[in-house]
């Protein structure tokens, strides 16, 4: 039921943004290389991307402070690249809100965001990628989120066929804890650093190949 409403809400909002507000259906790949999709194809592809990304980011919310620490550099990327003042203000508000939340969510957590927070962060970040037309850098920018989601998919797929586990536990942040003995704080710091690395590489790609 939750997934049904995610698709329904995302499809409706994307339709408003494209058909009513004039967002084009082009995907910018490299300098002047542009993939211009038919409206229906674009809607299907982007709705799947947004819902998939939102749920991937939801998987990241599994340890104290993890999603907040990883989400801040992602919002910062959109703050750096956008020419829209409203988007800049939104990104700053989200960064400030997450920083305030981290005071209570960092280990040991006294407050938790749950699906309400993680899906909101995931949906807004995915929509920002669509609005700013930087879908091509998403594998780098969302690297941590997709690694979390793919670890779950791989684990389930392999286990159902072989009864063996690739990872000690998924999402993958638990694997580092159980197999290598990393503490929650170490995992949060390492994943946060990977998030910043992905942000600056994505910014370099945007600056030299998309802008």
- Tally of CB atoms within 10 A around 120: 15
pLDDT, position 117: 93
In this predicted structure, the answer to whether residue 23 has a pLDDT above a threshold of 80 is: yes
Tokens 């994307």, located at residue: 14
pLDDT in tens, 87-98: 999 999 999 999
pLDDT, position 140: 95
Contact 18, 42 (CB under 8 A): yes
In this predicted structure, the answer to whether residue 195 has a pLDDT above a threshold of 80 is: yes
CA distance linking residue 104 with residue 206, whole number of Å? 34
* CA 136 to each of CA 19, 31, 103: distance values in angstroms, whole numbers, following the listed order: 22, 12, 34
- Tally of CB atoms within 10 A around 132: 19
Question: Quick one: the chain helix, strand, coil %, rounded to 5?
Answer: 75, 5, 20
pLDDT in tens, 99-123: 999 999 999 999 999 898 999 999 9
Per the omega criterion (within 30 degrees of 0), is the bond before 6 cis? no
In this predicted structure, the answer to whether residue 40 has a pLDDT above a threshold of 80 is: yes
Q: 174: number of CA atoms within 13 Å, CB side?
A: 15
pLDDT, position 47: 96
Instruction: Please name the helix (run of DSSP H) or strand (run of DSSP E) that holds residue 34, with its range, or none.
Output: strand 33-36
pLDDT band at 22 (very low <50, low <70, confident <90, very high): confident
In this predicted structure, the answer to whether residue 201 has a pLDDT above a threshold of 90 is: yes
pLDDT band at 31 (very low <50, low <70, confident <90, very high): confident
pLDDT in tens, 131-160: 999 999 999 999 999 999 999 999 999 999
pLDDT, position 135: 93
pLDDT, position 111: 93
CA distance linking residue 113 with residue 67, whole number of Å? 9
């Amino acid at each position: 039921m939750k997934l049904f409403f995610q698709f329904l809400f995302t499809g409706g909002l994307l339709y408003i943004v494209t058909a009513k507000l004039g967002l084009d259906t082009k995907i910018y790949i490299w300098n002047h290389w542009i993939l211009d999709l038919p409206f229906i194809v674009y809607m299907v592809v982007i709705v799947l991307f947004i819902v998939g990304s939102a749920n991937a980011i939801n998987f990241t919310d599994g340890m104290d402070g993890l999603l907040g620490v990883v989400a801040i550099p992602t919002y910062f990327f959109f703050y750096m690249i956008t020419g829209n003042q409203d988007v800049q203000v939104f990104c700053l508000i989200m960064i400030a809100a997450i920083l305030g939340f981290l005071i209570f969510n960092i280990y040991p957590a006294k407050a938790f965001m749950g699906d309400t927070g993680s899906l909101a962060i995931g949906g807004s970040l995915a929509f920002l990628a669509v609005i700013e037309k930087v879908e091509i850098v998403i594998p780098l920018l969302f690297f941590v989120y997709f690694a979390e989601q793919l670890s779950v998919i791989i684990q389930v797929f392999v286990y159902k066929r072989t009864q063996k586990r690739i990872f000690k536990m998924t999402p993958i942040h638990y694997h580092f804890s159980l197999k290598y003995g990393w503490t929650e704080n170490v995992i949060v710091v390492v994943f946060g650093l990977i998030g910043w690395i992905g942000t600056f590489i994505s910014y370099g790609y945007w600056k030299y190949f998309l802008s």
